[in-house]
Structure 1
Amino acid sequence: MNHKNRTKFFLRWGVLFALVLSVTNCNSTSKRDYFDTNFKCFAEPGWRDQSNFKKYIEKGWLPTRLLYGEDNNRIKRSEIVFAGDSLVHLFLPDLMAKEFPGKSVTNRGIGGDMTETLLTRIEEDVLVLNPKTVAIEIGGNDFIQGKCLSLVQNNLLTIIKKIHSKNQQIRIFLIAVPPTRVKELNQIVPVYNLFLNQVARTTPNVEYIEVWDVMRKLDSPTLSEEFIRPNGDSLHFNEKGYELWGKKLRPYLQK
């Protein structure tokens, strides 16, 4: 298997792993319902289920990072790098090439990634490519675990600081966490997106890319039917969603 085919194989394997993972982590609602009077946010590293978190790191996160390290050594540089969780991971190379023709775009998403894990790998997986632009979509998995909102926000701010400590001129696009078909996530995510918007308004070289408003149902805070994947997946969206991402991002990339 040559390098290109090997990369595609592992990317698609990683996507499958992310989809299985999402189903596993959405089984319990009580620990992620921020509006439940008995809810207690989670401020520890990892997941509430540490044994499954260890399996995830060993079988999904680390192998994907190893692949990215090999690919980074091969390509050396990339003008635009996408980083984040499975929503980024599912933005497969063929789709990216279609949405951003003529651009040097690299995907460094990992299914299951949280703000804390992205922070630990942003240098080796993303900044080593000396990008001019870093597009980030992250946070949904934090809220699946019921992470404390202040912790998620502080992690995001630290990610931005780490990127700009490398190069103050790097443009950072904060993509809104989109609606899903999971009620508990749709309750807390808009609060987090307001925070992302405010960060962009007050931080140089940071832009907020709104997608929640155009991906939700007209009269309901849930994912619109046109973006639902055909396999019953409640967290991720279909190719039409990535076409919308491309439409939203292209004007910013032309500035």
Structure 2
Amino acid sequence: MMKRNQWIILSLCVLSICFLGCTETQKTKTCPYGLEGKTHSAVTPADRLDWWGKRHYGVLEQIADGDVDLIYVGDSITHGFDNAGKKMWEKYYAPRNAVNMGFSGDRTQHVLWRFDHGEIDGISPKLAILMIGTNNSNGNDNTAEEIADGIKAVCAEMRTKLPKTKILILAIFPRNEKPCPQREKNAKASLMASEIADNDMIYYLDINDKFLTADGTLPKDIMPDLLHPNEKGYQIWAEAIEPTVQKLMGEK
């Protein structure tokens, strides 16, 4: 009986050590960029819907051979390169062995889940272009600081898994016809996220003025629903970042 109790105690000790080790590992993952101790929704990995899972597995198939030089990470705005932005994708990104990792409706936490489940495993792209966070800004779901935390957490994950990949953070695009609290929240979140740009491995670019008129109006002939670009909007986007993309991919 004594021997059996000793084995139970020993087993519990081993389990405790394993648990503490896992906790420490998780802690290490969330430490960079002032994220230690942050537990809000924007930094907590979460999955979503059935179609979303299918797209996720589609991405895994695309990266299976490891021949990826550019990844585009984001939400429906990036996802739209499959549709309204298809011509721009074929012109600028398909020739660069690019993978579209934009998922409609995604928030920072969904990108984190995808990264935790293989989407950037086994690849080493030259460049990752990231624009995420506008869906986090809906209502009172997340504050500007929390959205920035989420963007930083996504970057931290990429720096860990893709140490040779340069990251280009794009400021969250403007939404709604006129300046408003939600647009202001996104602008503030983008600026806070830009603090981690070191111009060595992480870069930040704000092209929002390319979409707006002088008085801050977002024209419907660029974003018909005042959120998602049409073909003209994708052209503005692709052309605005192209010099930076060329530079970061070592093409000039």
TM-score, normalization: structure 2?
Answer: 0.70
Instruction: Pick from 106, 114, 117 the counterpart of residue 113 of structure 1.
Output: 106
Question: 1:210-250: CA deviations, max 9, x gaps?
Answer: 12111122202x42343123xxx232111122112211222
Counterparts of 2:42 and 2:168 in 1: how far apart (Å)?
26
Candidates 149, 162, 165, aligned match of 2:144: 149
Cα contact 2:74–2:103 (8 A) shared by 1? yes
User: Hey, what's the Cα distance between the residues in 1 that align with 2:57 and 2:93?
Assistant: 26
Cα displacement string for residues 183-227 of structure 1 (whole angstroms, at most 9, x for unaligned residues): 442121111122233322x4631111212111122202x423431
Residue 191 of structure 2 aligns to a residue whose secondary structure is: helix
Say whether 1:240 aligns with 2:232: yes
Match of 1:214 among 210, 213, 220: 210
* Alignment-mate amino acid for residue 104 of structure 1: N
Distance 2:245 2:151 in 1: 22
Distance across 1 between alignment mates of 2:171 and 2:238? 14
Q: Tell me if structure 2 keeps the 8 A contact 1:177–1:189.
A: yes
Distance 1:127 1:217 in 2: 41
Once superposed, what is the RMSD of the aligned Cα atoms?
2.6
Corresponding letter in the other structure for 1:168: P
Please show how residues 68-83 of structure 1 align to structure 2 within 5 Å: 68-73=59-64, 75-83=65-73
1:61 aligns with 2:52: yes
Determine if contact 1:217/1:225 at 8 Å carries over to the other structure: no
Which consecutive unaligned segments of at least 5 residues does structure 1 have?
A: 1-42, 47-53
**Unpaired runs of 5+ in structure 2?**
1-39, 248-252
> Cα 1:196–1:239, aligned 2, differ >3 Å: closer, same or farther?
farther
Q: How far has the Cα of 1:135 moved from its partner?
A: 0.4
Amino acid aligned to 1:252 = T
Q: Cα distance, 1:94 vs. partner?
A: 4.1
Shift of 1:44: 4.2
Q: Could you tell me which residue of structure 1 aligns to residue 9 of structure 2?
A: none
User: Contact 1:83–1:126 (CA<8 Å) still a contact in 2?
Assistant: no
What per-residue deviation string (whole Å, max 9, x for no partner) do you get for residues 2-26 of structure 1?
xxxxxxxxxxxxxxxxxxxxxxxxx
Task: Check the 8 A contact 2:42/2:147 in 1, yes or no.
Answer: no
Q: Which position in structure 1 is the counterpart of 2:126?
A: 132
Q: Distance in 1 between matches of 2:76 and 2:244?
A: 23
- C-alpha change, 1:45 and 1:252, in structure 2 (3 Å) is closer
Rounded Cα–Cα distance in structure 2 between residues aligned with 1:90 and 1:198? 28
Q: Which moved more, 1:122-131 or 1:59-68?
A: 122-131
Helix, strand or coil for the counterpart of 2:105? Answer: coil
Deviations 1:19-63 (A, max 9, x none): xxxxxxxxxxxxxxxxxxxxxxxx4479xxxxxxx9x92233212
Q: Distance in 1 between matches of 2:205 and 2:87?
A: 22
Residues 184, 59 of structure 1: alpha-carbon distance in 2 compared, 3 angstrom cutoff: farther
Kindly, what percent of the aligned residue pairs are identical?
A: 22
Q: Which residue of 1 aligns with 2:26?
A: none
Distance in 2 (alpha carbons) for counterparts of 1:86 and 1:254: 24
Q: Give the C-alpha shift of residue 253 in structure 1.
A: 2.5
Q: How many residue pairs are counted as aligned between the two chains?
A: 200
**Residue equivalent to 1:103:** 96
Contact 1:82 1:134 (C-alpha < 8 Å) held by counterparts:
yes
Aligned partner of residue 99 in structure 1, secondary structure: helix
Deviations 1:72-130 (A, max 9, x none): 22x43210000110011001254312134732211011001111111121252234332
* The one of 159, 166, 169 aligned to 2:161: 166
Distance of 2:196 and 2:42 partners within structure 1: 24
